[in-house]
Amino acid sequence: DAKTTQPPSMDCAEGRAANLPCNHSTISGNEYVYWYRQIHSQGPQYIIHGLKNNETNEMASLIITEDRKSSTLILPHATLRDTAVYYCIVRVKGDSGAGSYQLTFGKGTKLSVIP
Amino acid sequence: DSGVTQTPKHLITATGQRVTLRCSPRSGDLSVYWYQQSLDQGLQFLIQYYNGEERAKGNILERFSAQQFPDLHSELNLSSLELGDSALYFCASSVLQTGGEQFFGPGTRLTVL
């Protein structure tokens, strides 16, 4: 799986959009970008994933650059409850039974939402 | 609430002992994953089971073993415990064997004294 690079920490004012960048310059054509977050010692929580098109769900938006070498997770209106470590993971989505499909977590970005 | 349950929530034991951690996946999920999170190593994948069969192994020590039962719950057995095994142990489940969308349980905090 391709490696990712994320800033170790970021601050965001409550109510503002939080834009979390991720660099994955060695991503392969069949690898997806997944985002998870972990709120202090709780189990990680799936947020969103995408291949090359921008994606949006009720939690966030994912913007992937045209060359797919980087992406940005956007939390449109950050709240205090969004304070967490955010992990960007690149992984083969897989549609065959072969191989292993575990998630490889890096150090992530610690997002602090400030009142 | 992810729908994944783990017991116990906390476990305190002594070096050299053996413990069993239990995980019940979300209803309908066939795949179970175990992860270890320690302060110095971060979140690390240990092992995956799919419908009762081992599918993938990560950084799992030989002292650790796991299994998935016919009712799809899974157990992680840790033996000859060392101080360094103190960590949070998470179980996750997914519908597919290849699931990138994994649902994590609340974890078991293991303290080895």
CA A85/CA A44 separation, integer angstroms: 9
Span B1-59, pLDDT tens digits: 889 999 999 999 999 999 999 999 999 999 999 999 998 778 999 999 999 999 888 88
What confidence score (pLDDT) does residue A94 get?
54
- What's the rounded mean pLDDT across residues A75-104? 81
- Which of chain B's residues have a Cβ under 8 Å away from the Cβ of A104? 45
Q: What pLDDT, on a 0 to 100 scale, did the predictor assign at position A66? A: 94
B71 in Cβ contact with B9 (< 8 Å): no
CA distance B27 to A82: 27
| Contact status, residue A86 vs residue B34, Cβ threshold 8 Å | no
**Residue B93 contacts residue B29 (beta carbons within 8 Å):** yes
Q: Sort out which chain B residues have CB atoms less than 8 A from A44's CB and list them.
A: 43, 90, 92, 102, 104
Per-residue confidence (pLDDT) for residue A5, from 0 to 100 = 95
Alpha helix (H) ranges present in A1-115? none
**Which of A2, A1, A7, A3 is closest to A86 using CA atoms?**
A7
| Residue A67 to residue A87: CA distance in whole angstroms | 21
Q: How far is CA B10 from the centre of its chain?
A: 14
Residue in A87, A96, A100 nearest the CB of B56? A100
* Displacement of CA B29 from its chain's centroid (Å): 15
Query: Cβ(B105)–Cβ(B92) under 8 Å?
Result: yes
Average pLDDT, chain A: 90
Average pLDDT over residues B101-113: 96
Count Cβ atoms within 10 A of the Cβ of residue B9 and give its class: 0-12 exposed, 13-18 middle, 19 or more buried. exposed
Distance, CA of B107 to CA of B19 (rounded, Å): 15
Q: What's residue A1's pLDDT? A: 62
**Residue B55 at interface with chain A, using a CB cutoff of 8 Å:** yes
- Determine the pLDDT at residue A77: 95
Q: What is the pLDDT of residue B42?
A: 85
pLDDT tens-digit series, residues A5-49: 999 999 999 999 999 999 999 998 888 999 999 998 899 999 999
| Chain A interface, best mutation among B40, B43, B54, by max A CB count within 10 A | B43
pLDDT at B73: 97
